[in-house]
Amino acid sequence: MYIITSRRSGLKLYYEPHCVDDKLFLQKYTADIIIMPVIKQLLPFFTVVSGQEDAVHLAKLLQAKYIVPMKNGDLNSKGILSSIVRSKGTVESFKEFLTKELPDARVLEPRPGTSLEILTSSLAL
């Protein structure tokens, strides 16, 4: 988990590659932008990567304005473990959950290999 703050603008970015949060630690933080997985990755009896409702909870806890979903569910993998790893949810179902809990937040979906610009009067980038 990383929280990065711009010295110039005060903009805060939160990055968490497994969508696991420490609720007690994060209660004192906010983040304008969150980069995190929104699709769950599951092994039998174990969650490898959280997402969906957990991602919405994290966005709400940090009062995020923008969420950039990691495409952890779009993997081409081989081997024994890949045959038992299951994905749960989609970016679209995440958006539905998010709209109910944090209606002003926006989900941004960048294309691989292209820059993502956030131009808004509420955030000074």
Kindly write down the DSSP assignment for every residue of 44-75, as one continuous string.
Answer: TTEEEE--THHHHHHHHHTT-SEEEEE-TT--
At 73 the pLDDT is 62
- Give the three-state DSSP class for 15: strand
List, for residues 63-116, the tens digit of each pLDDT value: 999 999 997 766 677 777 777 888 899 999 999 999 999 999 999 998 888 888
- 119 within domain boundaries: no
- 102 within domain boundaries: yes
In this prediction, residue 120 has a pLDDT band, given cuts at 50, 70 and 90, of low
Burial of 16 (C-beta count, 10 Å sphere; 0-12/13-18/19+)? buried
Give this prediction's pTM.
Answer: 0.85
- 124 within domain boundaries: no
Count of residues making up the chain: 125
- 118 within domain boundaries: no
Domain that holds residue 85: 2-107
pLDDT over threshold 90, residue 122: no
- 116 within domain boundaries: no
Domain tally, the chain: 1
Element (H, E) at 91: helix 91-101
- 115 within domain boundaries: no
List, for residues 23-35, the tens digit of each pLDDT value: 777 888 999 999 9
